[in-house]
């Protein structure tokens, strides 16, 4: 699959990206960025959206983010973690403003999605809850023919039922193989449910990048001696070892790590002398 998003050696003058960030997000996939607060997830997404200046290379559908035309930028849907919405406007008025900005504005689709999310069109957005603002931002992003979605914590502040609806809509958007979704989330369960690919960030850099299914089966968690660990997590009751599953003798008792456990190993775990990568 051709890369929908390609980032190479990206840095910013301020913020969380201390080292060059590189990763790809193929078309026809949902790629999730996971990491602790301050890892650089939002910074990467804002740079790709053209909000933050950056050094290095960043392309969306083969076009440099720096040199995109207006028409090319309108093919990108962005939902920022800051949820910046004109709160004095009703959702209907906000849609009217967007219809004058985007050449492919889908008024019917906008109203249908708002209804699906039970968002009142005639209510000022200043009266919206945090979750309703998140849904309003996503409704707008899905209503102007975007081929690429850049979503920063799109399910933050939503209850579990609405989160499921949001993930279903993102999945539906991806049924078109020319579309690309890049989303960050601190809710690893959401990423495990919907993502095809995972990028794990720590302290402004990428420490892991792989297809989700391959990543979740690459490693195992074991206890005891005699193993070559990738990471060692020291706990009060002893040590947990993260090892390559392929290195284990047949029949070894082990566990598959969750995405949260992988994140913990690579953030808090130690890489001992003699470790493998």
pLDDT one-digit tens code per residue, 107-134: 999 999 999 999 999 999 999 988 888 8
Which residues face 178 on adjacent strands? Answer: none
> Residue 16 — very low, low, confident or very high, per pLDDT cuts 50/70/90?
low
Q: CA 104: distance to chain centroid?
A: 25
Per the listing, tokens 């039922």 go with 161
Task: State how far the Cα of 94 lies from the Cα of 89, in Å rounded to an integer.
Answer: 6
Provide the β-strand partners of residue 234. Answer: 239
Res. 189 pLDDT band, cuts 50 70 90 = confident
198-223 pLDDT, tens digit each: 999 988 889 889 999 898 889 999 98
- Is-above-0.85 flag for pTM? yes
pLDDT of res. 198: 94
DSSP state of 86: -
Asked if 65 and 217 touch (Cβ cutoff 8 Å), the reply is no
């Amino acid at each position: 699959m051709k890369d929908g998003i390609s980032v190479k050696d990206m840095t910013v003058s301020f913020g969380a990206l201390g080292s060059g960030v590189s990763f790809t997000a193929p078309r026809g996939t949902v790629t999730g960025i996971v990491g602790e607060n301050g890892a650089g997830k939002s910074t990467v997404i804002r740079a790709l959206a053209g909000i933050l200046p950056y050094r290095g290379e960043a392309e969306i559908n083969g076009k440099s983010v720096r040199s995109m035309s207006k028409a090319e930028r309108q093919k990108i849907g962005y939902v920022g973690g800051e949820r910046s919405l004109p709160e004095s406007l009703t959702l209907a008025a906000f849609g009217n403003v967007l219809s004058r900005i985007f050449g492919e504005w889908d008024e019917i689709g906008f109203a249908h999605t708002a209804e699906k999310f039970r968002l009142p069109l005639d209510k000022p957005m200043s009266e919206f809850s945090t979750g309703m603002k998140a849904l309003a931002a996503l409704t707008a992003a899905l209503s102007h023919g975007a081929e690429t979605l850049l979503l920063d914590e799109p399910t933050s502040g939503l209850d579990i039922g609405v989160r499921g609806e949001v993930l279903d809509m993102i999945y539906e958007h991806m049924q078109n193989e020319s579309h690309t979704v890049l989303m960050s989330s601190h809710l690893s369960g959401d990423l495990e449910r919907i993502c095809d690919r995972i990028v794990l960030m720590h302290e402004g850099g990428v420490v892991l990048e792989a297809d989700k299914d391959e990543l979740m089966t690459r490693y195992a968690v074991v206890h005891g001696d005699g193993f070559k660990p990738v990471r060692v997590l020291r706990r009060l009751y002893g040590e947990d070892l993260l090892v390559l599953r392929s290195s284990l003798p047949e029949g070894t008792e082990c566990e598959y790590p969750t995405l949260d456990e992988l994140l913990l190993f690579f953030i808090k775990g130690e890489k001992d002398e003699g470790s493998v990568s």
